[in-house]
Amino acid sequence: MADHENYRVAIDILRCHLGMSAEEARKELGLDQETNQHEAESQGALLDLLNKS
């Protein structure tokens, strides 16, 4: 899994200079599928924490 911090400058350039949304920029860089997987993992971890409380 690629580290999104490595792509932050590229995302910012696409957003600022080409007027893309953050989601469009991630898709353009091929990061959209990875982002969805990371978000699902994060949500799962949060739900686990809430269920343990």
Per-residue DSSP letters for the chain? Answer: ---GGGGHHHHHHHHHHH---HHHHHHHTT-HHHHHHHHHHHHHHHHHHHHH-
Which of the two residues, 5 and 23, has the higher pLDDT score?
23
Amino acid (one-letter) located at 38: H
pTM over 0.85: no
Which tens digits make up the pLDDT trace of 17-45?
A: 999 888 888 888 888 765 566 666 777 77
The pLDDT of residue 18 is 92
Cβ pair 35, 29 in contact under 8 A? no
Residue 1 pLDDT > 50, yes or no?
Answer: no
DSSP summary character for residue 42: H
